[in-house]
Amino acid sequence: MGKNKKKSESTDPEPTRRSFLVKIWAGLGMIAFIEFVWVILAFLKPRKPRVVGKNSAQIITAGSVDDFPHDSVTTIRRGRFYLSRLSDGGFLAMSYKCTHLGCAVTWDSEKKLFECPCHSSAFNINGNVISPPAPRALDLYSVVIENGIIKVDTSQRIKRKKFNKEQVAFSQ
């Protein structure tokens, strides 16, 4: 009977290597599951909207009116737009983005047109579509000329169907 008492006193079995590894794998599996759920929730969570409006206004000074020759296009990299001076002396600030799929258009000074490298849309110096698939003219930014200095507000892009004379800014 003495032998039976000793066995009944120790109710906890000794941990084995197998039970230790099972616990480790179960813990790692739980960590992986938690990470997976976190990634899925982060994917489904809506993005914070960009602040657009008067609080995010970015006025970019392009330069003096005299710095831009008539019938020319100048790239303003900081503002990500083209400043076009038309033959009549007026100014347009046009977005880099093609209105088809948003690719960056480039100005070809020899051909005197904007070209989209993605789907070959082409636009003239005032942004009108001359070769589709772009559905409408290049978007504009508001241009203000104060004391002979050109300022462009890049906080809001102006969508347009085609070029209109009222869109041009002139110096007084």
| For range 64-78, the mean pLDDT | 92
Residue 6: per-residue pLDDT: 53
Lowest mean pLDDT among 48-57, 129-138, 143-152: 48-57
Could you read off the pLDDT of 38-54 as tens digits, one per residue?
999 988 888 776 555 44
**Percentage of the chain modeled with pLDDT above 90:** 67
Q: Say if strands 106-108 and 113-115 run parallel, antiparallel, or are unpaired.
A: antiparallel
| Cα Dmax for the chain | 116
Residues whose CB falls within 8 Å of the CB of residue 25, separated by 6 or more in sequence, listed in order: none
- Check: CB of residue 98 under 8 Å from CB of residue 129: no
- Check: CB of residue 143 under 8 Å from CB of residue 161: no
Question: E strand or H helix at 60, and its extent?
Answer: strand 59-64
**Residue 127, CA distances (Å) to 10, 20, 25, 151 in order:** 88, 71, 62, 19
| For range 135-145, the mean pLDDT | 94
Distance between CA atoms of residues 144 and 93, nearest Å: 10
Kindly list the domain boundaries of the chain, sorted by start residue: 15-45, 54-167
Distance between CA atoms of residues 93 and 158, nearest Å: 10
pLDDT grade for 57, boundaries at 50, 70 and 90: low
pLDDT grade for 146, boundaries at 50, 70 and 90: very high
CATH number of 54-167: 2.102.10.10
Question: E strand or H helix at 157, and its extent?
Answer: strand 149-158
Residue with tokens 């930014």: 141
pLDDT exceeds cutoff 90 at 106: yes
pLDDT exceeds cutoff 80 at 11: no
Token code pair at residue 3: 């032998």
Distance between CA atoms of residues 82 and 114, nearest Å: 10
Q: What is the pTM of this model?
A: 0.65
> Across-strand partners of 151?
61, 144
Indicate the average pLDDT of the chain.
87
Residue 69: per-residue pLDDT: 93
Residue 5: per-residue pLDDT: 52
| For range 141-160, the mean pLDDT | 92
Residues whose CB falls within 8 Å of the CB of residue 115, separated by 6 or more in sequence, listed in order: 105, 106, 108, 121, 122
pLDDT exceeds cutoff 70 at 61: yes
pLDDT exceeds cutoff 70 at 2: no
